[in-house]
Structure 1
Amino acid sequence: MLLHPMLSQAVNSLLLIISLVSVYGSAFAVSLNAELDRTKVVEGESLTLTLSAKTRPQGGPDLSVLAADFDVIDQAQSTRLSIVNGNASSLTEWQVTIMPKKYGKLRIPAIHWGQLVSSPIDLEVLRADQANANNLETRQVLIETEVSTKNPYVQGQVIYTIRILAKVQMQQPALTQFKVANAMVEKLGEDTSYSKERDGHKYNVIERRYAIFPQRSGLLTIESPILSAVIADPRRRNLVLRDPFFGVPFGDPFGTTNNAFSQQIRMRGPSISLDVKPQDPSVIGVWLPAQKVELLETWNPNPPSFIEGQPTTRTITIMAHGLSAAQIPDLTIPSISNVKFYPDATQADNQARDDNLIGIKTFKQAVVPAVAGRITLPEIRLAWWDTINNQPQLAIIPAQDIEVLPAINADAKNIQPNQNNSTLSSNLAPNLSSKNLPTAAVHPENSAKTDPGNVNLKPNSILDNQSLGYLNWFLTSMILSIAWLTTILLWLIERRRKVRQPKVNDLNAAKLSKLATQIKQYCLANDARLARLALLNWGRANWPDQPPTNLNGLASALNSEIATAVFQELDQCLYAGAASKIWDGRAAWNKLSQLLPNSKPAGSKIQQPLPQLYPNTIG
Structure 2
Amino acid sequence: MHGLLITLLILSSPASAKVAALLSNNSVAPDQPVRLTLQMEGEDEMNPDLSELEARFDILGRSTQQSISIVNGKMSAKRSLALTLLPKQTGRIEIPPIRIGQESTQALVLEVAERSQEEKDAESKQVLLELSLSKPKAYIEEEVLLTLRLFQAPGIRAESLTEPQPSMPDTQLRLLHEESYQSERDGINYLVVERTYALFAYQSGTLEIGGVKYRGRSGNDRIFSFLNDPFNSSQPEIRQFRSESNRVELEVVPIPQNFTGDRWLPAKNLQVVESGLAQQSAIIAGKPVVRRIMVFADGLTANQLPALEQTMPEGLKLYQERPQLKETPARTGISSSRQSGMTLIATEPGRYDLPEVEIPWWNIETDRQEVARLEAVTIEVVPNPGGASDPQPQPPQYTPEQTIRDDNETIASSDQAAANGSRGETHWLVWLFGAAWVVTLFGWWYTRRSETARPRQVEPAEVDKTAVDPGKQAIAEALARLEAAYADQDAVSARAAWLHWAQLQWPDNPPHNLTRLATRCDNAVSQAVLSLERAIYSPLDEPGWAEFEVRLLIEQTSGEKRAEKPTDGLVPLNP
TM-score normalised by length of structure 1: 0.47
User: Which letter does structure 2 place at the counterpart of 1:141?
Assistant: V
* Inter-partner Cα distance in structure 1 for 2:113 and 2:218: 25
Identity of aligned residues (%): 21
* Inter-partner Cα distance in structure 1 for 2:308 and 2:246: 42
* Inter-partner Cα distance in structure 2 for 1:32 and 1:116: 15
CA offsets, 1:450-489, max 9 Å, x none? Answer: xxxxxxxxxxxxxxxxxxxxxxxxxxx99xxxxxx99975
Per the alignment, in what secondary structure is the counterpart of residue 407 of structure 1? coil
Contact 1:228–1:267 (8 Å) recurs in 2 = yes
Matched, 1:315 2:292: yes
* Inter-partner Cα distance in structure 1 for 2:49 and 2:26: 11
Contact 2:93–2:110 (8 Å) recurs in 1 = yes
Contact 2:158–2:214 (8 Å) recurs in 1 = no
Q: Against the structure 1 CA distance between its residues 220 and 120, is the aligned structure 2 distance closer, same or farther, given a 3 Å change threshold?
A: farther
Shift in Å at residue 214 of structure 1? 1.5
CA offsets, 1:152-209, max 9 Å, x none? Answer: 22111122222222221344644333333312232214x2222212222212222222
Contact 1:386–1:392 (8 Å) recurs in 2 = yes
Which structure's relative contact order is higher, taking Cα pairs within 8 Å and 6+ residues apart?
Answer: 1
**Aligned residue in 2 for 1:145:** 131
**Aligned residue in 1 for 2:237:** 261
User: 316-325 vs 172-181, which deviates more?
Assistant: 172-181
* Inter-partner Cα distance in structure 1 for 2:122 and 2:212: 21
**Which of 487, 491, 495 does residue 541 from structure 2 map onto?**
495
Contact 1:145–1:269 (8 Å) recurs in 2 = yes
Per the alignment, in what secondary structure is the counterpart of residue 152 of structure 1? strand
Matched, 1:161 2:153: no
Alignment of 1:430-469 (within 5 A): none
Matched, 1:341 2:328: no
Matched, 1:179 2:165: yes
Shift in Å at residue 398 of structure 1? 1.0
Alignment of 1:38-437 (within 5 A): 38=30, 47-48=31-32, 50=34, 64=52, 67=55, 72=58, 74=60, 96-98=85-87, 112=96, 116=107, 118=109, 135=121, 139-171=125-157, 173-180=159-166, 181-189=169-177, 191-232=178-219, 248-250=226-228, 260-283=236-259, 285-299=262-276, 302-303=279-280, 305-353=282-330, 355-409=332-386, 412=388
* Inter-partner Cα distance in structure 2 for 1:211 and 1:230: 30
Q: Against the structure 1 CA distance between its residues 94 and 175, is the aligned structure 2 distance closer, same or farther, given a 3 Å change threshold?
A: closer
Note the residue ranges of structure 1 that are not aligned, 5 or more in a row. Answer: 1-30, 39-46, 80-91, 101-105, 127-131, 235-245, 419-476, 479-484, 498-619
Shift in Å at residue 254 of structure 1? 10
Contact 1:168–1:232 (8 Å) recurs in 2 = no
CA offsets, 1:329-359, max 9 Å, x none? Answer: 2111233224222111111111024521012
User: Which letter does structure 2 place at the counterpart of 1:323?
Assistant: L
User: Which letter does structure 2 place at the counterpart of 1:165?
Assistant: F
Per the alignment, in what secondary structure is the counterpart of residue 138 of structure 2? coil
User: Which letter does structure 2 place at the counterpart of 1:149?
Assistant: K
User: 165-174 vs 272-281, which deviates more?
Assistant: 165-174
* Inter-partner Cα distance in structure 2 for 1:291 and 1:125: 51
User: Which letter does structure 2 place at the counterpart of 1:158?
Assistant: V
Per the alignment, in what secondary structure is the counterpart of residue 541 of structure 2? helix
Per the alignment, in what secondary structure is the counterpart of residue 136 of structure 2? coil
Contact 1:192–1:208 (8 Å) recurs in 2 = yes
Greater C-alpha radius of gyration: 2
Per the alignment, in what secondary structure is the counterpart of residue 249 of structure 1? helix
CA offsets, 1:240-279, max 9 Å, x none? Answer: xxxxxx9933368999xx9643323343322333222222
Contact 1:298–1:315 (8 Å) recurs in 2 = yes
Q: Against the structure 1 CA distance between its residues 111 and 32, is the aligned structure 2 distance closer, same or farther, given a 3 Å change threshold?
A: farther
Matched, 1:37 2:29: yes
Q: Against the structure 1 CA distance between its residues 417 and 494, is the aligned structure 2 distance closer, same or farther, given a 3 Å change threshold?
A: same
Shift in Å at residue 363 of structure 1? 0.4
Shift in Å at residue 74 of structure 1? 3.7
Per the alignment, in what secondary structure is the counterpart of residue 310 of structure 2? coil
* Inter-partner Cα distance in structure 1 for 2:539 and 2:366: 48
Contact 1:34–1:52 (8 Å) recurs in 2 = no
Contact 1:73–1:99 (8 Å) recurs in 2 = no
Contact 1:372–1:405 (8 Å) recurs in 2 = yes
* Inter-partner Cα distance in structure 2 for 1:125 and 1:365: 72
Note the residue ranges of structure 2 that are not aligned, 5 or more in a row. Answer: 1-22, 66-80, 98-104, 394-511, 514-530, 544-575
* Inter-partner Cα distance in structure 1 for 2:385 and 2:533: 21
* Inter-partner Cα distance in structure 1 for 2:226 and 2:322: 64
Per the alignment, in what secondary structure is the counterpart of residue 215 of structure 1? coil
Contact 1:145–1:224 (8 Å) recurs in 2 = no
Shift in Å at residue 112 of structure 1? 4.0
Q: Against the structure 1 CA distance between its residues 404 and 145, is the aligned structure 2 distance closer, same or farther, given a 3 Å change threshold?
A: same
* Inter-partner Cα distance in structure 2 for 1:137 and 1:125: 11
**Aligned residue in 1 for 2:519:** none
CA offsets, 1:206-257, max 9 Å, x none? Answer: 22222121122223333344333332389xxxxxxxxxxx9933368999xx
